[in-house]
Amino acid sequence: MVSLSLVPFISSQEHALITRSLSLLAAGILATLLAGPVLAQGEKVSSAVELARQADRLKPGQWVWAPQISPQGPLLVFVDLSKQLATVYRNGVRIGVSTVSTGKPGHETPTGVFTILQKDAKHRSSKYNNAPMPFQQRLTWDGVALHAGGLPGYPESHGCVHLPFAFAKALFETTGHATTVIIAGNAAHPVSTGSGDVLAPSDADVPDTGFWNPERSASGPVTIVMSRSDQALIVLRNGVEIGRSPIALDQGNDATHVLTLTEDAGGQPAWVFAGVSGHEDEAGRVVDEATRNLVRIPREFHEQVVPILRPGTTLLVTQAPLRSGNPGTNLTVMSSSP
């Protein structure tokens, strides 16, 4: 029996060199496989634990996206100016995190609570030489929006929130009109969250003692803002302030918390924490009775507010005052379509 070899004759020295090279190559491939997925720009993960691990090591231009972790429920986008990060929550659970670039000095991105007013996948700027703004989601009528844009690793936009292209596309396909977007923090001081005002001076004559006028805005998304510094609560519907009341709110800390109203397995309403930056461990946690007891609201006002609450209602707890102390400072709390 004759054996045929397809390998040409080589010396034993050459054979040893090839064998060693192949061994090194195999070892490199194995090490790469064992190291797990590499986060080149974007990464899809399958669990909240993986998402948290990837989100902690994002570099400029990178993101992580896992909508299947929480497939249904109200959506919330939280933009942290201090950390230059955008976090997406659904039903109080974090499903995506992305690096961003917000407004540079002189063009600062406004803080506050917004709703998505308009969506345009192929938008071009009417202010900046017809510049493309892919997957634009408008937050204000004077030009602030979420859209795909440059990500140099620091604030460099003209006020918009720049996102990586693929993340902007995924977010665009997930949000709806009136999705809540909260922008907080201070881009000029990246290690702090800032305590800037969250509500611009109102043009209306609003009584300081509280009021309830739901007829001011008959429908639309509801947002509640509680201020520790003012010990006051305001209710906005479709961007219009329809109620205000004094409250007694624990001042043991000055942290910012965001909550979303959902329904539990039994169909009962439940407030769920969105784990905003610095409080990631709260994500998905249902507010317990002990926490609820830290907030004391006049009974009559509480009974007036409860009937308008729906899944998707957003609650923002902040140290910031509800009224600007600086004349001319105009920070939007909620902006919505007329």
Which tens digits make up the pLDDT trace of 83-96?
899 999 887 778 89
Domain spans, the chain: 42-184, 211-318
335: CB partners within 8 A, 6+ apart: 114, 115, 117, 139, 140, 141, 239
Alpha carbon distance 162, 240 (integer Å): 27
**Which pTM value belongs to this model?**
0.66
Question: Are 270 and 285 spatial neighbours (Cβ–Cβ below 8 Å)?
Answer: no
Write the CATH number of the domain with boundaries 42-184.
2.40.440.10
Q: Which range, of 16-20, 140-144, 148-152, averages the lowest pLDDT?
A: 16-20
Region 140-152: mean pLDDT is 92
Q: Which range, of 63-77, 169-183, 274-288, averages the lowest pLDDT?
A: 274-288
42-184 and 211-318 share one fold: yes
Region 218-226: mean pLDDT is 85
- The CATH class that applies to domain 211-318 reads mainly beta
Q: Give tens-digit pLDDT for 237-294.
A: 877 789 999 988 877 677 778 888 887 777 788 888 876 666 666 767 787 776 777 7
